[in-house]
Amino acid sequence: MYKPSKQEAAKLLRQMMEIRQFEDKIMELLSKNIAEGGSHLYAGMEAVAVGVISSLNPDDFISSTHRGHGHAIAKDGDLNALMAEILGKKTGVCKGKGGSLHLADLNKGNLGANGIVAGGLGIATGAGIALKMQKSSKIVVCFFGDGALNNGITHECMNMASLWKLPVLYLCENNLYAMSVSINRACSVKDFKKRAEAYDMPAEIADGMDVLAVKEAAIRWIDYVRKGNGPCLLVCNTYRYYGHSRSDPRVYRTKEEEKFYKDRDPILNFAQKCVKEGWLTEKEIKDIEASVTEAIEKATDFAIKSPLPDPEELYTDLYV
Amino acid sequence: MREITYRQALNEALDEEMARDEKVFLMGEDIAIYGGAYGVTIGLLNKYGEERVKDTPISEAAIVGTGLGSALLGYRPVVEIMYIDFIGLCMDQLNNQVAKIRYMFGGKCTVPLTIRTEGGAGRTLGAHHSQSLEAWLMHIPGIKVVMPSTPADAKGLLKSSIRDDNPVVFIEHKMLYNTKGQVPENEYLIPIGNADVKKTGTDITILTYSRMTLFSLKAAEILEKEGINVEVVDLRTLLPLDKTTIKNSVMKTNRAVIVEEDTRTAGAGAEIGMTVMEECFDYLDAPIKRIAGADVPMPKAPNLESLAIPSVESIVEGIREVMK
Ligand SMILES: Cc1ncc(C[n+]2csc(CCOP(=O)(O)OP(=O)(O)O)c2C)c(N)n1
Ligand SMILES: [Mg+2]
């Protein structure tokens, strides 16, 4: 089991709390119609983004998904600018032109969320080509959901990456469903490791509800990819707490199943562990939580008070 | 008659056609248990079972490709592509296989495949969930393209699409699902390829389709008060275009304005406008005008999204200009 330093434990906990509170806040803003449009929320899956991204170097790259708030926050995203982007404001990380589905921050190595399932596979794999040509020691982590396993480009990219030994870590967030369709009803191969085998690429399955388990596996595979061994597949088994979107009544899954995963909540469990192992005191945890709440309130306030983009922005940024 | 929503009208069309013909079956992402991202297929799984209402993996190319294969063997698949923005993922299947196969095989097969999809802006979903890509499809000989604006049209046209022995891309609009309208109780069909004059007028013709029909009708109401009598032609089918109705209207009003939500350059309006030129140039008293979407990806910000597509105000303004 990976043992974090005190400082590291505090950081992991803080980031997971930031993501959770950020997503809860977005849900609140959606129900009050302050946020419009859709948002796919990452609550429940925090250990994956945080466990993996905290194991990268700051100048490594990620590609994200339609459920991208968590990745963006973990990749050192600015809470104010992310919140403002989701509200479509001028001060957003993409000037309010992208929105929740297109959060990106290239300066921080985030190659972007994506409205197209599996849309990040080409980007990440292509970034892998560039890094390899540059003989760089940087790597790319390509996040995607179980649903993306069944889109053609995933197959095309994994084959190419393995063929050319590209520095890409394919990170499958298996939360058991793609919208309403369970993996059992969508995937002919239930053991996703076999997918990697088909490309002669190593794979591992990690407990995506446990940030230390994710970290432990991530560190090992990041090292493997960084050393030039080619790509690998790391599957993190996890769960999304909210419905796919706001209007989703979740008829395709049971209350018992939801409870099963919520009982293994990545934040509560890690907080408990921190106390048990003596990494953090109850008081320190309370303080972290309070300071996260403050940061989220600030970001919300910032986003709400920010102006919409100027009308002229409609035509900017299309061509250089 | 009774009032039902566009969504219900579509659901009734699917239900009636599935009851009528056991060769009709449905495939798509989240259409069975969930009932479709916009709820069009709700209840059909319970009624017709998993064999005829299939949830698919996220595999757009295979959804269309396998739809074609089953159509060649005599089924009448109605497949759903959740957002038209995802049509690119199956464009090869659609363009190279679905649209061409009958012609390439010397007319020796039919492709009774319906592809239902949904497009348009209005929910601030950003660049990957708000597009109007009908012009891409109009450019493909071998398919038909239908875009209804009212519940009654949606129902009658979907039934015709399913019964058509040619591939039809049936494009709904996300902002229309909750709109209500009169829909006959009795069974009826609306033929593909027939436009509908939604409002008669004498001074100027608006040629439009889908959600922009509703905007155009509102604009016509406002202009009526200024003494401008607008005729609103809802094209309903974009491929093939109903040249007769277009011609009859423009020959009467002598002015034509096209209102389209898609991006302007090489958009549907370019084809519609050129059709007016070819069919009734001699009758035009003013240049044809296009009121179209901005040539940009759809921005997220709500104010920019509204600016990126025609509004009732921009339509009113445009018509005033042509009437000057
Ligand atoms: C190509 C494409 N098809 C369909 C969709 C609609 N859609 C958005 S998210 C989603 C489910 C994705 O499931 P998964 O990849 O498992 O990610 P999760 O939502 O579970 O995090 C679907 C079907 C889309 N955005 N893009
Ligand atoms: Mg999933």
The predicted pLDDT at position A245 comes to 83
Catalytic residues of B: 60, 129
The predicted pLDDT at position B264 comes to 98
Q: Is A319 on the interface with B (CB under 8 A)?
A: no
Q: Which residues of A touch B302 (CB under 8 A)?
A: 36, 88, 308
Q: Which band of pLDDT confidence, cut at 50, 70 and 90, is reported for residue A316?
A: very high
The predicted pLDDT at position B220 comes to 98
pLDDT, one tens digit per residue, over B47-75 is 999 999 999 999 999 999 999 999 999 99
Q: Do A151 and B300 touch (CB under 8 A)?
A: no
Ligand in closest contact with the CA of B85: 1
A208 C-alpha to center of ligand 2: Å?
A: 13
Q: Is A179 on the interface with B (CB under 8 A)?
A: yes
Q: Which residues of B touch A112 (CB under 8 A)?
A: none
| Closest among B230, B162, B148 to B195, alpha carbons compared | B148
Instruction: Show the tokens assigned to A212.
Output: 């230390």
Kindly state the average pLDDT of the residues A52-73: 98
The secondary structure of A83-113 as a DSSP string is: HHHHTT-TTSTTTTSS-GGG--BGGGTB---
The predicted pLDDT at position B260 comes to 98
The predicted pLDDT at position B103 comes to 98
CATH ID of B196-323, from 3.40.50.920, 3.20.20.70, 2.60.40.1120, 3.40.50.10110: 3.40.50.920
A244 C-alpha to center of ligand 2: Å?
A: 9
* CATH 3.40.50.920 domain position(s) in chain B: 196-323
CA distance A58 to chain B (A): 28
- Sole residue written with tokens 């109850």: A282
The predicted pLDDT at position B78 comes to 99
pLDDT, one tens digit per residue, over B249-284 is 999 999 999 999 999 999 999 999 999 999 999 999
Q: Do B294 and A116 touch (CB under 8 A)?
A: no
Rounded Cα–Cα distance for residues A64 and A71 (Å): 6
| Closest among A92, A120, A22, A320 to B300, alpha carbons compared | A92
Q: Which residues of A touch B178 (CB under 8 A)?
A: none
Q: What does the domain layout of chain A look like in residue ranges?
A: 6-307
Q: Do A102 and B129 touch (CB under 8 A)?
A: no
Nearest to B58 among A100, A178, A309 (CB): A178
The predicted pLDDT at position A247 comes to 80
The predicted pLDDT at position B100 comes to 98
Instruction: For chains A and B, count residue pairs whose Cβ atoms are closer than 8 Å.
Output: 129
The predicted pLDDT at position B1 comes to 84
Q: Do A179 and B304 touch (CB under 8 A)?
A: no
CA distance B283 to chain A (A): 36
Q: Which residues of B touch A98 (CB under 8 A)?
A: 126-127, 300
Nearest to B126 among A98, A119, A315 (CB): A98
Q: Which band of pLDDT confidence, cut at 50, 70 and 90, is reported for residue B298?
A: very high
Q: Measure Cα distances from A231 to A166, A172, A309 in Å.
A: 6, 13, 40
Nearest to B126 among A115, A151, A187 (CB): A115
Ligand in closest contact with the CA of A45: 1
pLDDT, one tens digit per residue, over B125-164 is 999 999 999 999 999 999 999 999 999 999 999 999 999 9
Q: Measure Cα distances from A19 to A42, A58, A77, A91, B317 in Å.
A: 7, 18, 11, 20, 46
Assigned fold of A6-307: Rossmann fold (3.40.50)
DSSP state of A202: -
The predicted pLDDT at position A1 comes to 84
| Closest among B122, B154, B150, B152 to B214, alpha carbons compared | B150
The predicted pLDDT at position A246 comes to 81
Indicate if the pLDDT at residue A303 is higher than 90: yes
Instruction: Find which of A175, A315, A317, A319 to mutate to test the B interface (most B CBs within 10 Å of its CB).
Output: A315
**How does A102-122 read in b/e, with b if 16+ C-beta sit within 10 Å?**
bbbbeebbbbbbbbbbbbbbb
Indicate if the pLDDT at residue A222 is higher than 90: yes
The predicted pLDDT at position A38 comes to 82
Tell the residue nearest (CA) to atom 13 of ligand 1.
A178
Q: Is B21 on the interface with A (CB under 8 A)?
A: no
**CB of A175 shorter than 6 A to ligand 1:** yes
pLDDT, one tens digit per residue, over B177-226 is 999 999 999 999 999 999 999 999 999 999 999 999 999 999 999 999 99
B230-234 sheet: strands from edge to edge? B196-199, B230-234, B204-208, B256-263, B289-293
- Please, are residues A114 and A63 in contact by the beta-carbon 8 Å criterion? yes
**CB of A146 shorter than 6 A to ligand 1:** yes
Instruction: Show the tokens assigned to A211.
Output: 């940030």
Q: Do B123 and A38 touch (CB under 8 A)?
A: yes
Chain mean pLDDT for chain A: 97
Assigned fold of B3-182: Rossmann fold (3.40.50)
Nearest chain A residue to B297 by CA distance is: A318
Q: Is A263 on the interface with B (CB under 8 A)?
A: no
The predicted pLDDT at position B89 comes to 98
Model pTM? 0.98
pLDDT, one tens digit per residue, over A235-280 is 999 999 999 988 899 999 999 999 999 999 999 999 999 999 999 9
The predicted pLDDT at position A233 comes to 98
Burial class (CB in 10 A: 0-12, 13-18, 19+), A281: exposed
Kindly state the average pLDDT of the residues B14-36: 98
Q: Which band of pLDDT confidence, cut at 50, 70 and 90, is reported for residue A187?
A: very high
**CB of B89 shorter than 6 A to ligand 1:** yes
Nearest to B126 among A99, A118, A147 (CB): A99
Chain mean pLDDT for chain B: 98
Kindly state the average pLDDT of the residues A221-246: 96
**CB of A38 shorter than 6 A to ligand 1:** no
Ligand in closest contact with the CA of A242: 1
